[in-house]
Structure 1
Amino acid sequence: MLKSALPVFAFVLAAALPALAGEMTVKTGQMEDLKAVFATVESVDEVLARARITGTVSGLLVDEGAQVEAGARIATIGDPKLALATAGIDARLKGAEAERDLAEIEFRRSGDLLAKGAATQARVDNARTRLDVAARTIAALRAEKQVSAERSGEGAVLAPASGRVLKVHVTQGSVVMAGETIATIAAENYILRMALPERHARFIKVGDKVQVGPRSLAASTTPARLGSVRQVYPRIEDGRVMADVAVEGLGDFFVGERVPVHVSTGSRPALVVPRAAISRRFGLDFVTVKDVGAVVVQLGHAEDDSVEVLSGLRDGDVVTW
């Protein structure tokens, strides 16, 4: 009776024990040493919308934070003197046209008199010259009128690029000079600009991967995103090297907003085990070592499905889980 019960007891005991999912031999490898810094959301290009004529701001159509398209009107500048100049040109043009009509009549009359022998060739030549001068004067005045009309059209301040208005430098009714800045526009391409200490300048290069953390207003559980270094500036200022990081999804960020990032500043030797091999009991982290049992370990940096072990294991240990 007792002998027949032993196999059943052994089977139940084996079923109650947790099954081993796997094992690995711990080897010392190289792990990237990540440095946590803050990067600032910046625009790749900041363009200035400037006034092309001198005058008074009579229409301001945008405010800070507005989205504008390239070529859209953002302000209107009026100059009353342009309307007066155009009116003056119109009056001179009408006088020149009257002189041309008179010169044309004189030229025809001189030709008729020359045919009858009552006028000289010199009179005909003089009348032809007056007609040519009048025609050229009219052409010059028409060109001058067109220039005046174009200058009046330059009162429209247009957005030089699509993007977000960062700052409006004038108010309604302000007097501005030609070339004065009306608004600053951030182009739609945004990047993260970070400043690293000088000692890390030799480690960072274009194409390096960067872990971008959640923005300060987002939940802490938001997963990190990957970005890449798109440019490293070849100048060190105040003991820091500047670098730009390209990452998607920055369109709704504020320009100047600070975002945490982790960037590689070299590599170091480390022991790494799978995250599944770690168990936590009584506030301590344990790893099961083959032929030894549970060992208390101190964990370091975690990355994806692996965790760095700072102490408790040594090279060559076989970890099971």
Structure 2
Amino acid sequence: MFGRAVFPAAFGLLLGGAIPVAFAADFTVKPVTIPEMKAVFGQVESRTVVPARARIGGTIASIGVTEGSMVTEGAVIGRIVDDKLALKIQAAEARAQQSNSQLTKAKADLDRAKLLVAKGVTSPAALDDAQSNYDVAVNQLAADQADAAVARQQNDEGAILAPATGRVLTVPVTLGSVVLDGETIARVASGGYYLRLSLPERHAVAIHEGASVLIGGRGLSTTDSGAAKVLRPGRIAKVYPEISNGLVTADVEVSDIGDYFVGERTLVSIPIGTRNALAVPPAAVETRHGLDTVRLASGDVVSVILGEHFASNGDARVEILTGLKAGDVVAVPDAKQ
């Protein structure tokens, strides 16, 4: 144990200068329970990856997205062209026109047969034949029009549609590529992102669903002190019950993870236990000439060694490793001074 370095009040004035300081309140040092955090790598994953598929076979005539593009469900992201479909449409429309002409003639024959039967010039059998020919012409025209509609629909299905709202991960085809019906044109990550963690199995019993975690900044960046930058809080949403290769897997939900790449890694601090520590408000600590000091209510100045910063019941605290003991009363300077 290090001995506590206590400076008299007069020496404290010499160390910190003769500037008077106003104190807002006294703070009694007592043990608090803080979480024991472990930094691990979390990998960004997409909840769903949906392929945008070709609905017809043909040649890629246009591609409107690249890797990383944001798309909206139903948006046209490319087009496939099959030259045979244009000929098929022309042939179907020509048959429909022919059937329409036959229908016109059958209608005229039917009207003539009705008139002749009414005058008693021809037999009812002739009227029945004319009616039958007319019905056949009507049905043939409907069939040919349906064939033309199918051909036009196939041509319209050359448009490649985004299957979901999200970000395009890969586009495995290029302009001019020949693709088959059902082939993947692009893969879209949708449904939001989450972080997947892998921890040593010795921590399996310490982690649980619903625990709060801290997500580090993008690019594994750190602050000037060397600590990981905190981007935002998260929550352990799922702990998988199987241990593989000595690792337990857990998923972390983040409200808005931003524009991370799928597969990108970032630091995540997760609670693996708790410990007791002494802590004071950060405002109670003064740093002068490289020394961290705390002023006691008695007026003495105590040299301390600081630990990590954390929040206790919503209030900021800094851990005191040495220099204070439980029950000490610390003077906290007025923040307004």
What is the TM-score with the length of structure 1 in the denominator? 0.81
How is 1:74-89 mapped onto 2 (pairs within 5 angstroms)? 74-89=77-92
Query: What is the one-letter code of the residue matched to 1:308?
Result: E
1:48 Cα deviation from its structure 2 partner: 2.0
1:230 Cα deviation from its structure 2 partner: 6.3
Alignment counterpart, residue 282 of structure 2, candidates 271, 275, 283:
275
Cα distance in 2 for partners of 1:195, 1:69 equals: 33
How is 1:182-221 mapped onto 2 (pairs within 5 angstroms)? 182-187=185-190, 189-216=192-219, 220=223
How is 1:1-321 mapped onto 2 (pairs within 5 angstroms)? 16=18, 19=21, 21=23, 22-187=25-190, 189-216=192-219, 220=223, 224-229=230-235, 231-236=237-242, 238=244, 239-248=247-256, 250-280=257-287, 285-288=292-295, 295-303=302-310, 305-320=316-331
Between 1:114-123 and 1:264-273, the stretch displaced more is 114-123
Give the aligned partner of residue 5 of structure 1: none
Matched-pair contact (CA < 8 Å) for 2:222–2:229: no
Aligned residue pairs total: 308
Tell me the secondary structure at the aligned position of residue 38 of structure 1.
Answer: strand
1:285 Cα deviation from its structure 2 partner: 4.2
Give the aligned partner of residue 3 of structure 1: none
Query: What is the one-letter code of the residue matched to 1:209?
Result: S
Tell me the secondary structure at the aligned position of residue 170 of structure 1.
Answer: coil
1:283 Cα deviation from its structure 2 partner: 5.3
**Unaligned 5+ runs, structure 1:** 1-11
1:108 Cα deviation from its structure 2 partner: 2.9
Tell me the secondary structure at the aligned position of residue 147 of structure 2.
Answer: helix
Query: What is the one-letter code of the residue matched to 1:306?
Result: R
1:183 Cα deviation from its structure 2 partner: 0.9
Measured against aligned partners, the alpha-carbon deviations of 1:54-86 in whole angstroms (never above 9, x if no partner) come to 111111122222233333221101112222222
**Unaligned 5+ runs, structure 2:** 1-12, 333-337
Matched-pair contact (CA < 8 Å) for 1:209–1:226: no
Measured against aligned partners, the alpha-carbon deviations of 1:267-299 in whole angstroms (never above 9, x if no partner) come to 222222222343456755444556795555443
Tell me the secondary structure at the aligned position of residue 64 of structure 1.
Answer: coil
> Cα 1:180–1:269, aligned 2, differ >3 Å: closer, same or farther?
same
Tell me the secondary structure at the aligned position of residue 67 of structure 2.
Answer: coil
Between 1:208-217 and 1:76-85, the stretch displaced more is 208-217
Between 1:61-70 and 1:141-150, the stretch displaced more is 61-70
Cα distance in 2 for partners of 1:85, 1:236 equals: 56
Tell me the secondary structure at the aligned position of residue 161 of structure 1.
Answer: coil
Cα distance in 1 for partners of 2:123, 2:243 equals: 86
Matched-pair contact (CA < 8 Å) for 1:50–1:182: yes
Tell me the secondary structure at the aligned position of residue 219 of structure 2.
Answer: coil
Between 1:199-208 and 1:101-110, the stretch displaced more is 199-208
Matched-pair contact (CA < 8 Å) for 2:213–2:233: yes
Greater relative contact order structure (CA < 8 Å, 6+ sep): 2
| Identical positions, percent | 41
Query: What is the one-letter code of the residue matched to 1:261?
Result: V
